[in-house]
Amino acid sequence: MSLLRLAVKNERWDLAAHTIVLATVRALNKGELDAGKNRQKKYLKTKPKR
């Protein structure tokens, strides 16, 4: 049984939250999630307002 499923079953919300954060960090480090990169490129392309 996965750690997240076990944490939810036992209502350990702190453990569930930490599991989600850990999975997100691992995915970002591997390059699987690139939502932040698209947003950063969008801001870099815009011209600054005067």
Please count the other Cβ atoms lying within 10 Å of the Cβ belonging to residue 14: 8
pTM above 0.85, yes or no: no
In whole angstroms, give the CA distance from residue 33 to residue 26. 10
pLDDT given at position 36: 58
Reading the chain (50 residues) residue by residue, the pLDDT tens digits are 688 999 999 999 999 999 999 999 998 888 766 555 555 555 666 666 66
pLDDT given at position 7: 92
Ramachandran area for residue 41 (φ above 0: left; ψ -120 to 50: alpha; else beta): alpha
The tokens for 23 are 């999975």
Tokens 């870099």 belong to residue: 44
pLDDT given at position 29: 87
**Domain layout of the chain by residue ranges:** 3-45
